[in-house]
Amino acid sequence: MLRQAIRKIPGVPQLIKLNTDFENWWFDWRHGTDTSADRADQARKGWETDTTNHTYVPIRPKCARRVLQALPVTNPQEYTFIDVGCGKGRMLLLALEHSFRTAIGVELRKELSDLAKLNLHNDDRARLCSATCMNVNAMEFEFPDEKLVVYLFNPFGEDVMRTVLENLGRSLESSFRDVWVIMDFPVYANVADSMPYLSFVTEGYDYRIYRAKSPELAAVAA
């Protein structure tokens, strides 16, 4: 409420944009990457108005670090971080700074996944742990049989979100392991809330975090 009121003060949206632009520039300069979004080009391609598969908007590093710090995982080196809808891979690089075992990006649009691969290739930490990006529709992605942190920054519409989270649930039914789900800017949090295998753990101003229940608990909730 307070944040929304502040945003309405004249000049504040411009200041926020300046701050975001600087943050984006600083991230790419420090990492030697290109993770920015060309919104005009994306509009020409029709991505900006696609309500099924959302357009590319990189996460603000500040927001990414906030949610990673809020994640109650004490041993990230045991977990694979998966960014479903990873764009050019900015969040993958930030997750690796947070000491995850490795990171996998899933990206529908080939030109973005090619750039994510290049960004990972140019990063020492990503090369060391063989972080990778797959050019595949999230609905067809098979979750690896490992401890996972699954990250979703508002990548697609409700139907795709449901399919992806149902696929994750089936994967857990065949092989239970510890899995956390982060919904960043959670427009379709209702979908995660409705999954019997997920329990809500914590939330902040712009994220919600869930954890997979044990198979016994999930069966009771179903």
Q: Inter-axis angle of helices 90-97 and 110-121, to 10 degrees?
A: 30
Distance of closest approach, residue 90 Cβ to ligand SAM, in angstroms? 4
Q: Which of 56, 79, 207, 210 binds ligand SAM (CB under 6 A)?
A: 56
Site for ligand SAM in 162-221 (CB under 6 A): none
Q: Do the Cβ atoms of 107 and 116 come closer than 8 Å?
A: yes
Name the residue among 169, 116, 222 with its Cα closest to residue 181: 169
Distance of closest approach, residue 215 Cβ to ligand SAM, in angstroms? 27
Query: Which secondary structure element, helix H or strand E, spans residue 92, and what is its range?
Result: helix 90-97
Give the DSSP letter of residue 198.
E
How does strand 198-204 pair with strand 132-135? Answer: unpaired
How does strand 102-107 pair with strand 80-84? Answer: parallel
Binding segment for ligand SAM (CB under 6 A), chosen from 69-77, 85-93, 173-181, 213-221, is: 85-93
Binding segment for ligand SAM (CB under 6 A), chosen from 57-65, 121-129, 167-175, 199-207, is: 57-65
Q: Which of 131, 133, 160, 161 binds ligand SAM (CB under 6 A)?
A: 160
Q: Which of 20, 24, 99, 137 binds ligand SAM (CB under 6 A)?
A: 137
Q: Which of 68, 71, 86, 133 binds ligand SAM (CB under 6 A)?
A: 86
Site for ligand SAM in 89-128 (CB under 6 A): 90-91, 106-109, 112
Distance of closest approach, residue 76 Cβ to ligand SAM, in angstroms? 17
- CA gap 213, 60 in Å, rounded: 30
Q: Which of 79, 143, 153, 197 binds ligand SAM (CB under 6 A)?
A: 153
- 35: exposed, middle or buried (Cβ count in 10 Å: 0-12, 13-18, 19+): buried
Q: Which of 155, 165, 179, 181 binds ligand SAM (CB under 6 A)?
A: 155
- The count of chain residues that interact with ligand SAM, using the rule CB under 6 A, is 24
Cα angle: 11, vertex 17, 20; to 5 degrees:
140
- Residue type, position 94, single letter: L
105 token code pair: 């990006």
Question: Could you list the residues that contact ligand SAM (CB under 6 A)?
Answer: 53-54, 56-59, 83, 85-87, 90-91, 106-109, 112, 137-138, 153-156, 160
